[in-house]
Structure 1
């Protein structure tokens, strides 16, 4: 189920696992997590990676 979405990112969750997705002009970055990881940590990594690619023209 989608938990949150905006122009750049979509977050989904099913039970204790979930997905974080972010897009750039050329890429779709997908991060998944399970009950061993925190959703906020996964989202932070995906968003920072998207920022890096955007800054470098992707």
Structure 2
């Protein structure tokens, strides 16, 4: 996965969120992003790589 390689090459990033676009419709993508933004602390997300599925209802 290119994102993992980039994260290793640039270890000091503000966080990367991944989503398999083919498995999302726009409505559920927006809801998951909203849930992510309203529940996650930006300081705790630094240098992490996470899948958006974690916030999918």
Normalising by structure 2, what TM-score? 0.32
Normalising by structure 1, what TM-score? 0.32
Q: Relative contact order: is structure 1 or structure 2 higher (C-alpha 8 Å, sep ≥ 6)?
A: 2
Q: More helix per residue: 1 or 2?
A: 2
Structure with bigger gyration radius: 2
